Amino acid sequence: MPNILIVVDMQEGFRYNNVERIIPKIKMLLGKAKTAAVFTKFVDKKGSEFDIVLHWSKFVRKKDQELLREFARFSDLKTITHNGLNILTKNMLKEIKRRRANTVYLCGVYSDVSIGKAAMDLFDKKIDVKIVSDATTSQNAAYNKYVLASLRRVIGKKNIVKSADVAI
Protein backbone atom coordinates (compact mmCIF):
# COMPACT_ATOMS: atom_id res chain seq x y z
CA MET A 1 0.00 0.00 0.00
CA PRO A 2 1.20 3.54 -0.67
CA ASN A 3 2.30 6.02 1.97
CA ILE A 4 1.44 9.70 2.22
CA LEU A 5 3.42 12.74 3.37
CA ILE A 6 1.38 15.51 4.99
CA VAL A 7 3.23 18.83 5.05
CA VAL A 8 1.59 20.90 7.77
CA ASP A 9 1.08 24.66 7.47
CA MET A 10 4.30 25.71 5.75
CA GLN A 11 2.85 29.17 5.15
CA GLU A 12 4.25 32.69 4.93
CA GLY A 13 2.51 33.71 8.16
CA PHE A 14 4.41 30.99 10.01
CA ARG A 15 7.81 31.99 8.61
CA TYR A 16 10.36 32.25 11.42
CA ASN A 17 13.90 30.98 12.08
CA ASN A 18 12.96 27.43 13.07
CA VAL A 19 10.83 27.09 9.94
CA GLU A 20 13.70 28.30 7.74
CA ARG A 21 15.81 25.49 9.20
CA ILE A 22 13.45 22.68 8.10
CA ILE A 23 12.68 23.93 4.57
CA PRO A 24 15.56 21.97 2.92
CA LYS A 25 14.47 18.72 4.62
CA ILE A 26 10.86 19.17 3.54
CA LYS A 27 11.89 20.01 -0.03
CA MET A 28 13.94 16.79 -0.08
CA LEU A 29 10.94 14.83 1.24
CA LEU A 30 8.63 16.38 -1.36
CA GLY A 31 11.07 15.44 -4.11
CA LYS A 32 11.08 11.88 -2.80
CA ALA A 33 7.28 11.77 -2.35
CA LYS A 34 6.47 13.21 -5.78
CA THR A 35 2.65 13.05 -5.88
CA ALA A 36 2.27 11.19 -2.57
CA ALA A 37 2.20 14.45 -0.62
CA VAL A 38 -0.49 16.82 0.58
CA PHE A 39 -0.12 20.32 2.03
CA THR A 40 -2.32 21.63 4.81
CA LYS A 41 -3.09 25.30 5.01
CA PHE A 42 -4.44 27.16 8.04
CA VAL A 43 -7.08 29.73 7.11
CA ASP A 44 -8.68 31.92 9.76
CA LYS A 45 -11.67 34.24 9.69
CA LYS A 46 -12.92 37.13 11.79
CA GLY A 47 -14.97 35.95 14.74
CA SER A 48 -13.05 32.67 15.16
CA GLU A 49 -11.81 31.42 18.51
CA PHE A 50 -8.34 32.59 17.49
CA ASP A 51 -9.72 36.09 16.94
CA ILE A 52 -12.06 36.30 19.96
CA VAL A 53 -10.24 34.28 22.62
CA LEU A 54 -6.59 34.71 21.60
CA HIS A 55 -6.91 38.14 19.92
CA TRP A 56 -4.92 36.68 17.03
CA SER A 57 -6.24 37.29 13.52
CA LYS A 58 -3.07 37.06 11.46
CA PHE A 59 -4.29 34.31 9.12
CA VAL A 60 -7.32 36.24 7.96
CA ARG A 61 -4.88 37.94 5.57
CA LYS A 62 -4.30 36.11 2.26
CA LYS A 63 -0.55 36.86 2.26
CA ASP A 64 -0.13 34.96 5.56
CA GLN A 65 -2.11 32.00 4.19
CA GLU A 66 0.14 31.49 1.14
CA LEU A 67 2.50 28.51 1.04
CA LEU A 68 6.12 29.46 1.55
CA ARG A 69 7.61 30.64 -1.74
CA GLU A 70 10.23 27.88 -1.48
CA PHE A 71 7.46 25.38 -2.23
CA ALA A 72 6.16 27.12 -5.38
CA ARG A 73 7.38 24.28 -7.61
CA PHE A 74 5.16 21.89 -5.64
CA SER A 75 2.04 24.05 -5.99
CA ASP A 76 0.31 21.41 -8.11
CA LEU A 77 0.08 19.10 -5.07
CA LYS A 78 -3.24 18.88 -3.29
CA THR A 79 -3.77 21.45 -0.52
CA ILE A 80 -6.37 20.91 2.18
CA THR A 81 -7.37 23.84 4.35
CA HIS A 82 -8.31 23.75 8.02
CA ASN A 83 -9.69 26.45 10.30
CA GLY A 84 -8.63 25.18 13.70
CA LEU A 85 -6.02 23.13 15.50
CA ASN A 86 -7.17 19.90 13.85
CA ILE A 87 -5.67 19.17 10.40
CA LEU A 88 -7.62 15.90 10.17
CA THR A 89 -10.65 17.49 8.59
CA LYS A 90 -13.26 15.41 6.75
CA ASN A 91 -11.46 16.27 3.52
CA MET A 92 -8.09 15.14 4.87
CA LEU A 93 -9.49 11.87 6.21
CA LYS A 94 -11.18 11.27 2.83
CA GLU A 95 -7.85 11.94 1.09
CA ILE A 96 -5.98 9.49 3.33
CA LYS A 97 -8.66 6.87 2.68
CA ARG A 98 -8.81 7.61 -1.08
CA ARG A 99 -5.06 7.08 -1.35
CA ARG A 100 -5.29 3.89 0.72
CA ALA A 101 -2.34 5.17 2.72
CA ASN A 102 -0.60 2.53 4.78
CA THR A 103 1.55 5.06 6.66
CA VAL A 104 1.02 8.78 7.20
CA TYR A 105 4.20 10.83 7.58
CA LEU A 106 3.81 14.25 9.24
CA CYS A 107 6.19 17.17 8.91
CA GLY A 108 6.00 20.96 9.06
CA VAL A 109 5.20 23.51 11.73
CA TYR A 110 3.70 23.48 15.17
CA SER A 111 4.75 20.05 16.35
CA ASP A 112 3.31 21.03 19.73
CA VAL A 113 -0.10 21.83 18.26
CA SER A 114 -1.46 20.51 14.94
CA ILE A 115 1.21 17.87 14.31
CA GLY A 116 1.07 16.42 17.82
CA LYS A 117 -2.73 16.42 17.78
CA ALA A 118 -2.86 14.77 14.35
CA ALA A 119 -0.34 12.12 15.38
CA MET A 120 -2.36 11.14 18.44
CA ASP A 121 -5.66 11.21 16.52
CA LEU A 122 -4.24 9.01 13.74
CA PHE A 123 -2.82 6.64 16.38
CA ASP A 124 -6.29 6.44 17.99
CA LYS A 125 -7.79 5.66 14.56
CA LYS A 126 -5.28 2.79 14.19
CA ILE A 127 -3.59 4.50 11.23
CA ASP A 128 0.18 4.04 11.16
CA VAL A 129 1.67 7.49 11.74
CA LYS A 130 5.27 8.69 11.72
CA ILE A 131 6.51 12.15 12.69
CA VAL A 132 9.57 13.24 10.70
CA SER A 133 11.52 14.81 13.56
CA ASP A 134 14.17 16.64 11.53
CA ALA A 135 11.49 18.14 9.24
CA THR A 136 9.23 19.30 12.06
CA THR A 137 9.45 22.32 14.32
CA SER A 138 7.59 24.74 16.51
CA GLN A 139 7.93 28.45 17.09
CA ASN A 140 9.94 27.65 20.21
CA ALA A 141 12.66 25.01 19.72
CA ALA A 142 12.23 23.82 23.31
CA TYR A 143 8.54 23.06 22.65
CA ASN A 144 9.54 20.95 19.66
CA LYS A 145 12.08 19.03 21.72
CA TYR A 146 9.60 18.37 24.53
CA VAL A 147 6.69 17.37 22.31
CA LEU A 148 8.85 14.90 20.38
CA ALA A 149 10.02 13.40 23.68
CA SER A 150 6.42 13.17 24.86
CA LEU A 151 5.20 11.64 21.59
CA ARG A 152 7.95 9.00 21.72
CA ARG A 153 6.24 7.83 24.90
CA VAL A 154 2.63 8.40 23.79
CA ILE A 155 2.64 6.91 20.25
CA GLY A 156 5.89 4.92 20.41
CA LYS A 157 9.51 5.79 19.76
CA LYS A 158 9.50 3.84 16.46
CA ASN A 159 6.97 6.39 15.19
CA ILE A 160 9.40 9.31 15.47
CA VAL A 161 11.70 9.03 12.46
CA LYS A 162 14.33 11.01 10.54
CA SER A 163 13.83 12.20 6.97
CA ALA A 164 16.36 9.63 5.72
CA ASP A 165 14.04 6.88 7.01
CA VAL A 166 10.91 8.08 5.20
CA ALA A 167 9.65 5.43 2.75
CA ILE A 168 7.43 7.02 0.13
> For the chain, how many structural domains are there in total?
1
Task: Give the whole-angstrom CA distance, residue 99 versus residue 69.
Answer: 27
Per-residue pLDDT reduced to its tens digit, 55-73:
777 877 889 999 999 999 9
Q: Which is more confidently placed, 43 or 135?
A: 135
Average the pLDDT over 68-97 and give the result: 94
Residue numbers of the domain that contains 20? 4-165
Residue 57 sits in a domain of what CATH number? 3.40.50.850
| DSSP code of residue 68 | P
Per-residue pLDDT reduced to its tens digit, 13-70:
989 999 999 999 999 999 999 889 999 999 888 887 887 788 777 877 889 999 999 9
Q: What is the pLDDT of residue 59?
A: 77
Instruction: Please give the C-alpha separations between residue 111 and each of 1, 63, 82, in angstroms, as whole numbers.
Output: 26, 23, 16
